Amino acid sequence: MGLSKDSVGIHAIDEELVIKKKKENDIIVALAGNPNVGKSTVFNAMTGLRQHTGNWPGKTVASAQGYCAYDGKGYVMVDVPGCYSLMAHSAEEEVARDFICSKIPDVVVAVCDAGCLERNLNLVLQILEKTKNVVVCVNLMDEAAKRKIDIDLAELEKRLEVPVIGTAARSNVGINDIYMAINNVYTKEREMTVSEQEVHTPEYYVKRAEELCRGVIRFADAEYAKKDYKKDRIFTGKYTAFPIMFLLLMGVFWLTITGANYPSELLHTGLFKVEERLFQFCIWAGVPSVIREVFVHGMYRVVAWVVSVMLPPMAIFFPLFTLLEDSGYLPRAAFNLDKCFEKCHACGKQALTMCMGFGCNAAGIAGCRIINSPRERLIAVITNNFVPCNGRFPTLIVMITMFFVGSATGAEASLLGAAFLSSIIVLGVLMTFLVSRLLSLTILKGIPSSFALELPPYRRPQIGKVIVRSIFDRTIFVLGRAVVAAAPAGIIIWIFANIKIGDVAVLSYLSDFLDPFATLLGMDGVILLAFILGLPANEIVVPVMLMAYLAKGSLVEINDIGALKEILTANGWTWITAACTMLFSLMHWPCATTLLTIKKETGSWKWTFAAFAIPTVAGILICFVTAQTAGLLMK
């Protein structure tokens, strides 16, 4: 029997879900289940990692759809958002309920975790009340075996009266059996009786799940979860949780800083060699001087800078972040921070969206969809910018290296830099708590909502799939948005640097105009202008500063840190200037990509402006206090 896989699109037209079949008799399958049961792994195993992702009609909940063929039959797989119940309490559960209860899916595959089957059966029982065309997929059977958990699948199938298939989707075990079970259910489709359509109370599902599992699940080792409990005492312990979180954060940044240097240099060299060839080609093709300067030394150079600076650290950071997520640690980080956010009258899930912001604030904003309460979601959106994204790391790292690491070299410099950077991140987290609390007391008053946070078992990360998922779903997505924003910025910067009034460039006029205000903040007009022109992409802040200081007509780069420090100190920089620049880099307006994402997610210019103004005002106040206090102490 042959198995082939291909992709198929999903999109919305007139607020309806459009399924694109390849053949009229293709079977539409909804893949449902609780979060962290390996549903996406089953989906990927069946569709071969080739799917289309988007949003459900009228919702900001992500959807995915894929196509696969088995034994001559086609299957359109629709990945339903992970949920714990069809009694909708969130956008995800509402989408799952509406799709499962609709007439669109021919068969529903309910995925369960073999390690916590009883809890997962609550959702299965609710699905069975909506349709009998169900296949129960008991996934992670390999992990259950390691824990010496034995499940009598045949008996469970007899009790549920629907096919029950055991799988280990990571190893593709049991996937073919799912196809056969889907086909059998589809060909034997029957209508629900009136009694089977009865909806019960939540207590009913709990008791019924207990009855179903009695005698079906056997634990050979009564202390099968002892290892996880021991790990949790360390990773979520009262005295160890936060130090470990800080050390892990520092480790991730150290690997990112150390690992990104060499590939970033290679990428930069390669892209700027292309620039030389491109410029020569424009001359050969007879492109007018002004046009080739604007598009090559303006637009292309800015885009090349953004790619060379962003791509290597993102290609390292996102996989590391995904490894923490895949191993089961990230939900524990959210658990550790839950009480902190509760005291701020915010949602503990904000910890997860805040972590996502380290890679890209736009991704963190999109991740706020997981927060059910509109009030708490807005708090998470507005405060996400207080954690620096990859685009702000280069500015922070350069300032730390030149003015605070001192004479340290090699591994010592990397460790000191990572420790200093981690401390700045902690300051950003503390500001997130403070502003969240202020918002909850003022314009977004309310009581924090409760939420169920599942702590999945610790798992060995799937390194290959982690790399694929992090690169394609996060790195390329974020980089693409940054490039789109950086291209027009390159043209604007070139125009400001090359158009002169008298003998003075517009760039110099603007920096001189901003200088009095910037001086109060411990900076100068050039620095503040660089942040303003860096609105499309934070990566270009430092090169814009250099361009203004050296009076160059396009972005410049000084690869030697010592030479760069000499240029800055010659223009009046001190450690106070560096500190205020770092603080303003940590706390100022979101980049253009993030602002567009905020507008899309909130649908409101009012909240987009609030997300712009609040971190900016915070940055101005803190820089002012820091500069004035340091100035008094230095006298």
DSSP per-residue codes, 211-223? HHHTTTEEES-TT
Neighbours of 131 (CB within 10 A): 23
C-alpha span between 352 and 454 (Å, rounded): 13
Choose the most confident range, by mean pLDDT, from 52-66, 331-345, 421-435, 455-469.
421-435
Higher pLDDT, 167 or 369: 167
The rounded distance, in Å, linking the Cα atoms of 566 and 212 is 74
Look at residue 157 and tell me whether its pLDDT is greater than 90.
Answer: yes
Query: What residues contact residue 203 under an 8 Å CB cut-off, 6+ apart?
Result: none
Residue 64 belongs to what domain range? 3-224
The larger pLDDT score, comparing residue 12 to residue 553, is at 553
For tokens 């009786």, name the residue.
Answer: 193
Instruction: Please give the full DSSP string across 491-510, using - where no structure is assigned.
Output: HHHHHHHH-EETTEEHHHHH
- Using one digit for the tens of pLDDT, what is the confidence trace for 381-411? 999 999 988 778 878 888 888 888 766 666 6
pLDDT tens across 571-597, in order?
999 999 999 999 999 999 998 889 988
Q: Is 233 inside a domain boundary?
A: no
In this structure, the dihedral spanned by the alpha carbons of residues 414, 416, 422 and 423, taken in order and rounded to 10 degrees, is -160
Q: What is the arithmetic mean of pLDDT over 432-461?
A: 80
CA atoms within 13 A on the CB side of 40: 16
Distance CA 567, CA 366 (A): 39
Residues 190, 254 within the same domain: no
What is residue 174's predicted lDDT score, i.e. its pLDDT?
Answer: 92
Per-residue pLDDT tens for 290-337?
888 888 888 888 788 778 777 787 788 778 877 887 788 887 888 888
Statement: residue 57 has pLDDT above 80: no
Number of domains in the chain: 2
Of 224, 255, 288, which residue is a domain's last?
A: 224
In this structure, the answer to whether residues 259 and 368 fall within a common structural domain is yes
Structure tokens at 484: 């789109």
14-18, 535-539, 629-633: range with highest mean pLDDT: 629-633
Q: Is 4 exposed, middle or buried (0-12, 13-18, 19+ CB in 10 A)?
A: exposed
Whether residue 428 is contained in a domain is answered as yes
Residue 90 pLDDT greater than 70, yes or no: no
| 385 and 266 co-located in one domain | yes
Domain co-membership, 289 together with 160: no
Q: Are residues 38 and 116 in the same domain?
A: yes
Residue 513 has pLDDT above 80, yes or no: yes
H-helix segments, 188-300: 202-213, 226-235, 241-284, 289-292
Last residue of one domain, picked from the residues 199, 224, 249: 224
> Would you say residue 346 lies in a domain?
yes
Out of 194, 224, 254, pick the residue that ends a domain: 224
* Residue 403 shares a structural domain with residue 506: yes
d(CA 148, CA 294) in angstroms, rounded, equals 66
Do 202 and 278 reside in the same domain of the chain? no
Distance CA 506, CA 527 (A): 15
Q: Is residue 318 part of a domain?
A: yes
Domain of 189: which CATH number? Answer: 3.40.50.300
pLDDT for the residue 520? 95
Note whether 162 and 276 are same-domain residues.
no
Burial zone of 43 (CB within 10 Å; 0-12 exposed, 13-18 middle, 19+ buried): buried
Indicate the angle between helix axes 410-441 and 393-403, nearest 10 degrees.
130
**How does DSSP assign 332-360, residue by residue?**
HHHHHHHHHHHHTTS-TTHHHHHHHHHH-
In this predicted model, what pLDDT tens digit does every residue of 108-155 receive, in sequence order? 999 999 888 988 999 999 999 888 899 999 999 988 888 888 999 999
- CA-based torsion, 292, 294, 299, 302: positive or negative: positive
Q: Is 166's pLDDT higher than 90?
A: yes
pLDDT of residue 154: 94
- Which of 420, 630, 618 lies closest to 522 in space, CA to CA? 630
- Lowest-pLDDT range of 62-71, 453-462, 560-569: 453-462
213 with 329, same domain: the answer is no
> In this structure, what DSSP letter does residue 456 have?
P
162/293 same-domain check: no
Mean pLDDT of 207-213: 89
Residue identified by tokens 């130090």 is 243
Contacts of residue 294, defined as CB under 8 A and 6 or more positions apart, other chains included, come to: 491, 494, 495
Contact 540, 555 (CB under 8 A): yes
**Separation CA 90–CA 88 (nearest Å):** 6
164 pLDDT band (50/70/90 cuts)? very high
212 and 252 inside one domain: no
Task: Choose among 340, 331, 334: nearest CA to 433.
Answer: 340
Closest CA to 537 of 478, 497, 607: 478
Q: Does residue 234 form part of some domain?
A: no
Q: Please check whether residue 235 lies inside any domain of the structure.
A: no
Measured in whole angstroms, the distance separating CA 206 from the mean position of its chain's CA atoms is 34
Query: How far apart (Å, rounded) are the C-alpha atoms in residues 375 and 344?
Result: 13
**pLDDT on residue 227:** 74
- Residue 587: the pLDDT is 93
Report helix angle 476-498 to 592-602, nearest 10: 130
Q: How far is CA 150 from CA 136, 166, 172, in A?
A: 17, 11, 20
Classify residue 229: in a domain, yes or no: no
Q: What percentage of the chain carries pLDDT values higher than 70? A: 86
Amino acid symbol at 520: L
Q: What is the pLDDT of residue 409?
A: 65
Pairwise pLDDT comparison (280 vs 407), residue with the higher score: 280
Same domain membership, residue 472 and residue 428: yes
Q: What is the mean pLDDT of residues 41-55?
A: 69
| Tokens (6 digits) for 528 | 């503040």
Give whichever of 23-32, 207-216, 285-294, 520-529 has the largest mean pLDDT.
Answer: 520-529
What totals of helices (H) and strands (E) does the chain contain, helices first? Answer: 26, 14
Percent of the chain with pLDDT over 90: 27
Is residue 146 a part of any domain in this protein?
yes
Three-class secondary structure of residue 163 per DSSP: coil
